[in-house]
Amino acid sequence: MTMFALWHALNQHVMEGKRQKIQEISTKSESFIREMDEIKLKLLEKKVTMKSQWLPPQSLKVRVNFDVAFKPDLH
């Protein structure tokens, strides 16, 4: 989060000419960290564990999915 706050401050300086004091960057970084900690706690409270068990396919059919890209100028 600290690196993001530094990158964001640098980006604002380069792109918009806005300068931030190191204290502002530090405060923003601490705020990001607190927010992430709060989100983690909320996610842990809602976490539901389930017993997972592998089940074989119901039939002997196999399904294969794939994706293709095609460039006409190369062929």
Instruction: Report pLDDT for 71.
Output: 75
Say what the pLDDT of residue 75 is.
55
pLDDT digits (tens, 9 = 90+) for 47-74: 777 788 888 877 777 778 878 877 777 6
Reply yes or no on whether the pLDDT at 35 is more than 80: yes
Q: How far is CA 73 from the centre of its chain?
A: 36
Measure the CA–CA gap between 50 and 39, rounded to whole angstroms. Answer: 22
Average pLDDT of every residue of the chain? 85
CB-based contact 25:9 (threshold 8 Å): yes
Regarding pTM above 0.75, the answer is no
CA max distance for the chain: 65
Both tokens of 65, joined, read: 């999915």
